[in-house]
Amino acid sequence: MSTSARASGSLTVGTLSAEPGSKARGPVLADLGAITMNIPVTLINGARRGPRIVITAGMHGGEFTGVDAATRLSELLKPDEVSGQVIVCPVANPPAVYDGRLGVSPLDGVNINRVFPGDAEGGPTERLAAWLFAGLVGGADAYIDLHSGGIDETLHDFIGYRLTGEPGLDEKTRHMAHALGIRDVVLGLNAEGGNSHAAAARHGIPALLVETGDRGERDPAAADRLVDALCGLLGELRVLDRASREPLPVREWVWAGAITAETTGLWYSDVAAGDDVTTGQVIGLITDPATGREHQVVASATGRVFYGMHGLTVAPGAELAAIAAPRDPGR
């Protein structure tokens, strides 16, 4: 695929810089106003011209496969084998990753992947999103954000991306999504919302959400599979010199239903990630340990569960199941 070829020159993020043909690694101090944060960044500035690829992980806590794979990839890539520039940030949201291992930041309770492109004058997480978007994501020719099933989350591996209505951009993104060798691709039918990949798509950048790993797993083999998938994608983007792989057949889906808890209690799920459900089907119960009262939870759509709640204890608003339906090719 074609992406703009970068003039060879130094690659800089904050105080970290790499000349063409070199690699730099270190913490970059993000000055967020009231607070500062050290963000780990690796810059691989290729000896030859090519696109700039930005890979982030660790937007959320407890999502280990992506963090592990991004770190392994940043160690693996050699500048003399790279055409273009690769920026890897394995822990994009250190407070959420290190201090809470939760989807929200312990600083302000905000889910960073709902506030992109951020607000430099906002709260701590909005400011961090703005810093990441201005310093890393916004300058990419292609962007990949690695997520995983968190500690309390079941997940069936998938790639996500957003349709923008801009045919050239959507085709580039589709090509990237199909190059990863992950079978299920879930489309969002617009690029609205505060997810980093949605904000990047609105900025004209082909952008993928990659979701691999289940229930906080930290399996080295799973991380290596993801590294291999990312190297395949970098080959397809001509950043790495690799023979094109035979593309795996892909199944395309669209998001069809998000089921959240309406009550506090104990969640007993009848379905697992990867299961097919039909509208109205009882997919689990929330019981009140005080009264024994049972609250049935039903599927709001027909399709497949791609992720869901593994934790036993839930409060109103907790995401219990996300359902996608096979894509109607006419849409």
Quick one: which of 127, 147, 202, 225 contacts Zn ion (CB under 5 A)?
A: 147
Which range of residues in 6-14, 36-44, 147-155, 272-280 is near Zn ion by CB under 5 A? 147-155
- Report, in Å, the least distance between residue 292 CB and Zn ion: 34
Residue placing its CB nearer to Zn ion in the complex, 62 or 135: 62
- Report, in Å, the least distance between residue 293 CB and Zn ion: 32
Query: Which residue, chain included where needed, has tokens 């593309």?
Result: 247
Residue placing its CB nearer to Zn ion in the complex, 44 or 67: 67
CA–CA separation, 21 and 26 (whole Å)? 17
Strands 142-147 and 158-162, by their bridges, are unpaired
| Site membership for Zn ion, residue 162 (CB under 5 A) | no
Which parts of 44-83 interact with Zn ion (CB under 5 A)?
Answer: 60, 63
Residue placing its CB nearer to Zn ion in the complex, 240 or 322: 322
Quick check: helix, strand or coil at residue 285?
strand
- Report, in Å, the least distance between residue 93 CB and Zn ion: 10
Cβ proximity of 270 and 113 under 8 Å: no
Residue placing its CB nearer to Zn ion in the complex, 74 or 196: 196
Residue placing its CB nearer to Zn ion in the complex, 40 or 62: 62
E strand intervals along the chain: 11-13, 16-18, 22-31, 36-45, 48-57, 83-89, 142-147, 153-155, 158-162, 184-188, 207-211, 251-260, 265-269, 276-277, 282-287, 294-298, 303-309, 313-314, 319-326
Which parts of 230-289 interact with Zn ion (CB under 5 A)?
Answer: none
Residue placing its CB nearer to Zn ion in the complex, 64 or 253: 64
CA–CA separation, 135 and 30 (whole Å)? 10
- Residue closest to 310 by CA, chosen among 266, 277, 278: 266
- Report, in Å, the least distance between residue 331 CB and Zn ion: 26
Amino acid at 233: L
Which range of residues in 93-101, 139-147, 157-165, 265-273 is near Zn ion by CB under 5 A? 139-147
CA–CA separation, 186 and 161 (whole Å)? 7
| Site membership for Zn ion, residue 310 (CB under 5 A) | no
Contacts with Zn ion by CB under 5 A lie at 60, 63, 147
